[in-house]
Each structure stands twice: as C-alpha cells, then as structure tokens.
Copies of this chain bind each other. A is one copy, B any other.
Amino acid sequence: MKISAESIWGDLVRIRESAPLVHNITNYVVMNPTANALLALGASPVMAHALEEAAEMVTMAGALVVNIGTLSPPWVQGMHRAILRAKELQIPVVLDPVGAGATPYRNRTLRELLEKGGADIIRGNASEIQAMVDAEATTRGVDSSAAAEESLQAAQSLAERESCTVCVSGAVDYIVDGAQVYRVHNGDPLMTRVTGMGCTASAFCGAFAAVNPHFPAAAAHAMAVMGIAGELAMEQACGPGSLQLHFIDAVYNLNREQIAAKWQVKP
C-alpha cells in the first residue's frame, strides 16, 4: 500500500469517527500519558490487566496493545490470556518489548508471548529489536543504543521469523513487513526526553490497526502522526515538559493541511 498524506488523513478520520476501543495492558509509568494520547487521537482507551477479565475486555476492542515495561507474573498471565483471545477473534495485537535484552526474565517473557500467542505488529527501539533477534545482545534498560539503520536487518529477521510487521523507532522509523519497508522521517529528538513516547507510538499503532487491516501501512500512519504532532509541538515547546503538553494538543487538533505540509514517509 502506498503511503500518502491522504492515506494518513483517511485513517485518522476513521479513528475519530469510529473511536475504536484500544485495550492496553501496559506499564505503570506510561498508563496516564498513553490514555491521554489515545483520547486526543480520537480512540477510546481501556486498561485492564487482570487474568479475571483480560479475555472478556479484549472482545470489545478494536486492537490489543501489550507492553512489558513493568512486567510481573500476574500481569504476564493477563497478557497471555488477552493475546490468545485477540488471536481467536482476529483482533490486531501490538507488542511493545520494552527493555528487551535487559534481563533474562524479559527475554523469556517475550519469547513465550510470541510462541504461545504472537503479535501482528512489534514496535520497539533499535536496541530492543536487536535483542529480540540476537540473544547475545544486551540493552541498557529502556534506552536505545544501537543505530537504527543498522537494526533494519534485525527488524527484517524478526518480521520474517514472527510473520508480522516490525516497527523500529528512532531518528528514522523503519516499518518492515516481508519485503516491504517504510521509512518515517518525522519527529524530533526531544521526544526521547519525554517518558512513554515510544509506548504511545505502540498504542497509536493499535489505534491505526483497528481501522486499517494493512498493518504495515497502519504502523507507518501511526508513526507519521506521532512525528508530525511532535514537530508541531516543538514549535511551541520550551523543554520536555511543555513538549508533552503541546504534543497532546497537536494530536487532538491535527488537520489535513498540517499532515500534507509535514509528512515524510518514504519507501
């Protein structure tokens, strides 16, 4: 699918009109900004992790977003349950492998989530994606230390192995699915100084996948909207605190002209 300002705008309008429910099982640090960003986008966030209800909650959702940032055994059980139900019902699943490679527990959990359930889109930074294909790679917490360009190959390996779309975010975001590659050049470096911007990107992938069954295009649209809103926010921001606020306002107010003027997605 060819990405254009019109294809980005079209999906955004679909989200605003249908307000898809995005079910998030995510980490404690980013729950609040993730929910706010999804609301600003026009989606309808829900957060519910307990084994007792994760499967029922996902049945109403347009997408499931699983993020292992602050994982623990009871949460991982809820993630498994929700992913299995989502797969049964063909609800798109986005996996954010926060801190992949940082600890054996994270690596094991990611492997089990993929083996027993799977994901339609995996979105992480370069270090995380690298760690998912190379057991020897280690990451430093949630930072990205590998160069994004270098990890394009890792993304392609992971996409092939898991038969899914892989999105590596960085200065340029790479969205890979089989032979297809999209490069999103939007965004601003200061966004890395706001916690949860990557997690928000994953949640946006979920919202776009809820209205667009072509997952690589959905992910590219999501990353473009993230980046464009970040660039617009930077026009008013004086630091990461004000960037976060203006980012939410920019997502909410994003219009066709702004997308047309700023989008930078290349094959």
Contacts and interface: CB of A to CB of B under 8 A. Distances in A.
Contacts of A142: 44-46
A189 to B, nearest CB: 12
A35 interface: yes
Quickly give the copy total for this chain: 3
Given A56-B105, A141-B21, A240 B50 contact: no
Interface string A135-148: 00000111100000
A53 to B, nearest CB: 4
Interface residues of A, number: 63
Interface string A195-230: 110000000000000000000000000000000000
Nearest to A233: B241
A23 B141 CA distance: 9
Interface stretch (A71-79, A86-94, A119-127, A154-162): A71-79
A140 B240 contact: no
A111 to B, nearest CB: 14
Which of A71, A102, A141 has the largest number of chain B CB atoms within 10 A? Answer: A141
Given A105-B53, A247-B241, A194 B140 contact: no
